[in-house]
Structure 1
Amino acid sequence: MADYRLETSWRPVENSFGRLTFTLFNLSTEPLSGFSLAYTTETRVADNHVCDGGSLKRQVAHFHEFLPPEGLSVRPGGHWRFTVEGLTREPKHVSAGVKSAYLTLAEGRHVPVEFSDLHLEGRDGGAAAPLLPVGSVPDPYSLLPWPLLLGLKAGELPVILYPAEKTRPDAIKSLSLVLALYQRLYPAANAPFSLSAIKGGRAIRFATESSIAGSAYELRFTAHEIVLSSADEAGRQYGLISLAQLMHGARADRERFKFPNFGTIADQPRYDWRGCHLDVARQFYPVADVNRLIDILAWNKLNIFHWHLTDDEAWRLEIKAYPALTEIGARRGPDEVLVPQLGDGAETRAGHYTQDDVRQIVAHAASLHIEVVPEIDIPGHGTATLLSLPELVDGQEAPASYRAVQGYPNNALNPAVEFTYEFLGKVFDEVVALFPSEYLHIGGDEVAQRAWLTSPLCSALMEREKLAGTPELQAYFLRRIKTMLSERGRKLAGWNEVSHGGGVDRDGTLLMAWEQPAVGIELAQQGYNVVITPGQAYYLDMAQSEAWAEPGAAWAGYSSPEHTYAYEAEDDLPEALQEKMRGIQACIWTENFVSRGYFNRLVFPRLSAVAEAAWTPLTRKDWDRFAAIVRMWPIL
């Protein structure tokens, strides 16, 4: 138990974003004086604010440090209270408060402070709603995503499934891989498959059919065997996952789900790009967690893992040419170059992936037919990069001359510093050696409107190249980056802002529409290939109802699992542009994921809802059926 505790509450105030009240309790046996209080939160204090009972000493994005009035001493059992009015946004949910806190004592020692979620003053915030109805299953089969065509008759549940005699070694290997996947996801359940025949089981006969589309499969059930037909390994894997799902449901809920004895399943994915993104910069996830998430993606028949490896808060990928990127940029703490953010407390938090870690994760994903797309977020979101390598900065640029939406000052790599391109060239050389993916994602999002405009080097570049303003400077930068990627055999992927300022060559460029659903249409009209991932439906950090008690972010409103499930990315896309739509993607941004409980509540079941939208045609979707099945699906 800590010796100090911080309680925070918020109350609405007319014509402002409200007032925060902080109360620090001294639970120790000694008086407390000569200290400062530091905490992290997404509810940031604005430049113009009023603080009663204390003063803001320092703020860096989500990090705040306050001082008590001079001479204040808090007796044992006593408290210090101060209020702040003047915020950058109005808190909407319980998780919008403090995410970590610590004191710096007079002698310089940092000590932890316990804290609670943000309390709402003066009114009832409502209850967090149940995320799922009980659901119903008109067809008693546990398959998710639901297949394209299904005509089955239920029968007796086999003891186990096993390969027929004379099955080829490659099919045996596929069966073994899916068996291992199932055992990792459901370690306490009985295995659905055996590699050898078992009495009471049913044989699987594998057939290769060149007429079947890539990644598609067909299952034909008879009383004596199951025939799994596919044209490729991916289709074979998806068919085996479907068999494992059928077995799992029929065993786990025998009243509701059955196993088929007769009939067929013919199935194929709706989109080529069925993605899930994970931000590991705000919160670091160890290799075991990343591998488990990849297993969950495979179980849901998703095929892209978009790995967000760098941001303002951290650089998480080992680059041998620049060890400072992780020696400095992967560490946050009170005495580190990067101050605490979003859950960091009195102790330094550090974490990055070695190149051996990456090779293992990429190989694990590839074995499950998942492509890992790395993201190196440039030119914005570069605080960790710039603090790790100060030679990337134009030293003549006015400090704090612009600020990103998250509050970071001067956080974008400078397009006029030639070392920027030397640095990125060496980074890309190591990245492409680690990731065999078709695309390398370069971010390109949220560069502040007036970025670089006080940089003398950028002023000279703008005059020389006849560029006007930040968007055209960014487009100049990104066109050079696209050329560098092409020279390394990679295509450019990025967020929708890559199109700003004239954008880049459309050929071989894939952009992700996140700001508004309509942005995807605009990008397709401009000639870009598009992945649809709107914050209003597919950002899994958004709260799931408007109730105060529901955790999550609020900038895009809220998105219930039913809304995420029902959202149709193609709804307003003209038929002539549909060939530009590559697919859809869920995004897991981790500012709010300071606990495993919050992660699982926010990500699941919405991840599976996106997976079904990516695989299953609209006419085959059924919310009640999905709700009945998804409650059996694995979480992190």
Structure 2
Amino acid sequence: MADYHLEASWSPVEAGPGRLTLTLFNLSSEPLSGFSLTYRSPTRIADTHVCDGASLTRQVADFHEFLPPEGLSIPPGGRWRFTVEGLADEPKHRTDGIKSACLTLGDGRRVAVGFGDLLLEGGDGGVTPPLLPPGRVEEPFALLPWPLSVGLRAGDLPSVLYPAERTRPEAIKALSLLLALYQRLYSAEAAPFSLAAVKGGRAIRFVTESSIAAFAYELRFSAREIVLSSADAAGRHYGLISLAQLLHGARTDRDAFKFPNFGTIADQPRHGWRGCHLDVAGQFYPVADVMRLIDILAWNKFNIFHWHLTDDEAWRLEIKAYPELTEISAGGGTDERPMSDFNDGAQARISHYRQEDVRRIVAHAASLHVEVVPEIDIPGHSTAALSALADLVDRQEPADSYRSPQGYANNALNPAVEFTYEFLGKVFDEVVALFPGEYVHVGGDEVAEEAWLSSPLCRTLMKRERLAGTAELQSYFLRRIKAMLSERGKKLAGWNEAAHGGGVDRDGTLLMAWEKPETGPELAEDGYDVVMTPGKAYYLDMAQAEAWAEPGASWAGFTPPERTYAYEAELPEALREKMRGVQACIWSGNIASRAHFNRLVFPRLPAIAEAAWTPLTRKDWDRFAAIVRMWPVL
């Protein structure tokens, strides 16, 4: 148990976004004096504020540092209470409070501080609603996402499934990979597959059928055997997942679900890009957690893992040319990250992925037909890189000439600093060696409107290149970045703001539409290939109900699972060829624990999997609700 504990509560006031009350409890056996308190919270203090009982000495985005009144000493069992009026935003949920906290003592030691949820003064916080109805199934087969065509009759439950005689080695290897996947996801359950024939089991006969579409499969069931037909390894992989799901459901809930002994499944994905994004900058996830998430993606037939490796908070990828990036900025700077992320060890300060870790993760994903798309978020969201490498900064630019939406000052790589391109060239050299996929995602989002306009170097660049404003400066920057990626055999992916100011060459560029529903059609009309990832439906850090007691963020409203499931991220018929697919996004800055992660991400992640795979006319919310409760979580 921590020797110190911080409680935070919020109360509304007539004018403004309310009052924050913070109380530090000294649970140790010694008096506490000569200290400072630091914490991270999405409820930021505004520039203009009134603080009673303390003084705010430093703030960088969600990082806050307070000093007590001079001479204050908190006795054992005592407390220090202070209030703040003047908040940047009004909190909406209990998770809008403290994310991490610590004390810096007079001798320089940093000591962990315990904390709880943000309390709502004068209210009970409401009730967190159930996320799913009981559900019901008309066809008693556990398949998720639901296939394109199903015509099955239930029969006896086989003890296990095994390869038929004379099965080729590559099919047996594929079966063994799915067996290992299932055992990782359901370690306490009986295996669905055996590599050897078993009495009471049923044989799988593998057929290569060139007339079947890429990534598609067919399953034909009889009491004697199952025939799995596909044209490629991916289709075979998806067919084996369906078999594992069928057997898992029939074993787990024998009253509701059965295994077929007659009939067919004909199946193929609705979209080519079925993605899930994970932000590891706002929250570090150990390698084992990343690999388990990829396992879950494979089980739900996702094929893209978008790995958001850098942001203002941290740079998580080892770059051998610039070890400073992870020596300094993997922890968000030397003093601006009060305590470790929830999955780190108790004293961890720097958390990042070594290149050997990345190779393991990429290979693991590839074995499950999941492509890893790395994101190096530039030019904005670059506080971590700028804090590590001073040569990236135009030293003549005023120190606080613009701020990002998250409150970071001067957080964008400067397009007029030539070292920016030397730096990124070396970063990309190492990135492309680690990630064999088609795309490198380069962000391009949320650059502050006034960014770079006070930079003398940028003013010179604007005059020389006839550029007007921040958006055209970003377009100049991203065009150079696209050329650098093309030289390295990669295509550019980015968020929808990468189209601002003229954007980049549309050929080979993929943009993700997140801001509002009309963004996707606008990008497609402008010639871009598009992945739909709407914040209002597919951002899984958003709360799932309006109640204060529900965890999550609130800037895009609240999104219950049924709304996520029902959402149709489509383009008009004339533009449909520009739509590559859909993607879930897991932003981690507002996720304080594994329990919160699982509450927020599931069952909405499998709901998006069904939107990515299953035609609209085949979707069924009640069937989904009945099946998804058996599906794995982190």
TM-score range (shorter-chain normalised) is: over 0.9
**1: CA distance, partners of 2:33 / 2:422:** 50
In structure 2, what is the equivalent of residue 589 of structure 1?
Answer: 587
Render the CA deviation track for 1:242-291: whole Å, top value 9, x for unaligned: 00000000011101100001000000000000000011111111111111
Amino acid paired to 1:174: A
Is residue 93–residue 548 contact of structure 2 (8 Å, CA) maintained in 1?
Answer: yes
The CA distance in 1 between the partners of 2:354 and 2:110, in whole Å, is 30
CA distance in structure 1 between the aligned counterparts of 2:58 and 2:295, rounded to whole angstroms: 42
User: Structure 1: how far apart are the matches of 2:25 and 2:230?
Assistant: 65
Measured after TM superposition, the shift of residue 343 of structure 1 is 5.0
- Equivalent residues of 2:101, 2:338 under 8 A apart: no
Is the aligned partner of 1:329 residue 2:344? Answer: no
Contact conserved, 2:309 with 2:315, CA < 8 A, in 1? Answer: yes
What's the secondary structure of 1:310's corresponding residue? Answer: coil
The residue that corresponds to 2:283 in the other structure is 283
In structure 2, the partner of 1:634 is: 632
Picking from 571, 575, 578, the partner of 2:576 is: 578
**Counterpart check, 1:452 vs 2:452:** yes
Query: Is the 2:102–2:338 Cα contact (8 Å) retained in structure 1?
Result: no
Aligned-residue offset at 1:204: 0.6
Give the secondary-structure state (helix, strand or coil) at the position aligned to 1:125. Answer: coil
The DSSP-based 3-state class of the residue aligned with 1:385 is helix
8 Å contact from structure 1 (residues 332, 349) kept in 2: no
CA contact (8 A) 1:40 1:343 kept: no
Q: Show the counterpart of 2:474.
A: 474
Distance 2:337 2:259 in 1: 55
Equivalent pair of 1:282/1:342 in contact (CA under 8 Å): no
1:61-460 aligned within 5 A: 61-332=61-332, 336=334, 338-340=336-338, 347-460=347-460
- Provide the C-alpha distance between the structure 2 equivalents of 1:170 and 1:528, rounded to a whole number of angstroms: 38
Is residue 306–residue 373 contact of structure 1 (8 Å, CA) maintained in 2? Answer: yes
| SS of match in other structure, 1:350 | coil
Tell me the equivalent position of 1:52. Answer: 52
Alpha carbons 1:146, 1:620 under 8 Å: kept: yes
> Which residue of structure 2 aligns with residue 22 of structure 1?
22
What is residue 607 of structure 1 aligned with on the other side?
605
Report the equivalent of 2:616.
Answer: 618
Aligned CA distance change for structure 1 residues 342 and 130 (closer, same or farther; 3 Å): farther
Listed as ranges, the gaps of 5+ residues in structure 1 are none
> Aligned residue for 1:510?
510
Structure 1, residues 87-146: CA drift from partner, whole Å, max 9, x if none?
111100000001111122223222222111000011232100011111001100000000
TM-score by length of 2: 0.98
Deviations 1:536-584 (A, max 9, x none): 00001000100100000100001111111000001xx321011111000
**How big is the shift at 1:171?**
0.8
For 2:117 and 2:485, the matched residues in 1 are separated by 44
Shift of 1:73: 2.2
Shift, 1:172, TM fit: 0.8
TM-score normalised over the length of structure 1: 0.98
Amino acid in the other structure paired with 1:522: E
SS in 1 for 2:585: strand
Aligned residue number for residue 565 of structure 2? 565
Question: In terms of mean alpha carbon deviation, does 96-105 or 223-232 score higher?
Answer: 96-105
Which amino acid in the other structure matches residue 404 of structure 1?
Answer: S
Rounded to whole Å, the distance in 2 between the matches of 1:278 and 1:407 is 22
Assess if the C-alpha contact under 8 Å between 1:216 and 1:235 holds in 2. Answer: yes
CA contact (8 A) 2:158 2:201 kept: yes
Q: CA deviation at 1:39?
A: 1.1
Query: 1:338 deviation in Å?
Result: 4.8
In the TM superposition, residue 70 of structure 1 has moved relative to its aligned partner by 1.8
Give the CA RMSD over aligned residues: 1.3
Query: Does structure 2 retain, via aligned residues, the 8 Å contact 1:61–1:407?
Result: yes
In 2: Cα distance, 1:123 partner to 1:339 partner: 31
Deviation at 1:75, TM superposition (A): 2.5
| One-letter amino acid matched to 1:136 | R
Shift of 1:342: 8.4
Q: Distance in 2 between matches of 1:25 and 1:440?
A: 47
- Matches of 1:126 and 1:166, distance apart in 2: 61
- Corresponding residue SS for 1:349: coil
Amino acid corresponding to residue 590 of structure 1 in structure 2: S
DSSP 3-state at the match of 1:43? coil
Contact persistence 1:328–1:337 (CA under 8 A): no
Matched ranges for 1:477-496 at <5 A: 477-496=477-496
Q: Give, in whole Å, the separation in 2 of the partners of 1:521 and 1:125.
A: 39
- Residues 313 and 86 of structure 1, relative CA distance in 2, 3 Å threshold: same
Q: Supply the distance in 2 between the matched residues of 1:253 and 1:246 (Cα, whole angstroms).
A: 11
Note the C-alpha offset of 1:594: 2.0
How far apart are residue 525 of structure 1 and its match? 1.1
Query: Could you tell me whether the CA contact under 8 Å between 2:60 and 2:336 is conserved in 1?
Result: no
The CA distance in 2 between the partners of 1:389 and 1:46, in whole Å, is 29
Runs of 4+ in 1 over 6 A off after TM superposition: none
- Partner amino acid, structure 2, of 1:152: L
- Quote the Cα distance in structure 2 between the aligned partners of 1:635 and 1:627: 15
**Letter paired with 1:447:** V
Q: CA deviation at 1:77?
A: 2.2
Is the CA contact 1:148–1:268 (under 8 Å) kept in the aligned structure 2? Answer: yes
2:525 alignment counterpart: 525
Equivalent residue letter for 2:622: D
The whole-number CA distance in structure 1 between the counterparts of 2:341 and 2:39 is: 9
SS at match of 1:384: helix
DSSP 3-state at the match of 1:321 = coil
Q: Tell me the distance in 2 between the aligned counterparts of 1:412 and 1:129.
A: 40
CA contact (8 A) 2:565 2:604 kept: yes
Aligned equivalents of 1:440 and 1:107: distance in 2? 45
Distance 2:352 2:404 in 1: 24
Aligned mates of 1:543, 1:329 — CA distance in 2? 29
What SS does the aligned partner of 2:9 have?
Answer: strand
- How many Å separate the matches in 1 of 2:112 and 2:482? 46
Q: Is the 8 A contact 1:40 1:342 kept in 2?
A: no
Match for residue 13 of structure 1? 13
Distance in 1, matches of 2:626 and 2:468, equals 55
- Mapped to 2, the partners of 1:545 and 1:54 lie a distance apart of 34
- Name the structure 2 match of 1:548: 548
> Quick one: percent identity of the two aligned structures?
76
Structure 1 residue 534 and structure 2 residue 526: aligned?
Answer: no
Deviation at 1:521, TM superposition (A): 1.2
Cα distance in 1, alignment partners of residues 25 and 475 from structure 2:
51
Partner Cα separation in structure 1 for residue 603 and residue 503 of structure 2: 36
Total equivalences in the alignment: 632
Segment of structure 1 superposing worse, 336-345 or 493-502: 336-345
Aligned-pair CA distance for 1:443: 0.4
Q: How far is the alpha carbon of 1:26 from its aligned partner?
A: 1.9
Task: Please give the per-residue CA displacement for 1:497-552, whole angstroms capped at 9, x wherever unaligned.
Answer: 00111111111100000111211111111111000001100001000100100000
Preserved contact between residue 62 and residue 342 of structure 1 (Cα < 8 Å)? no
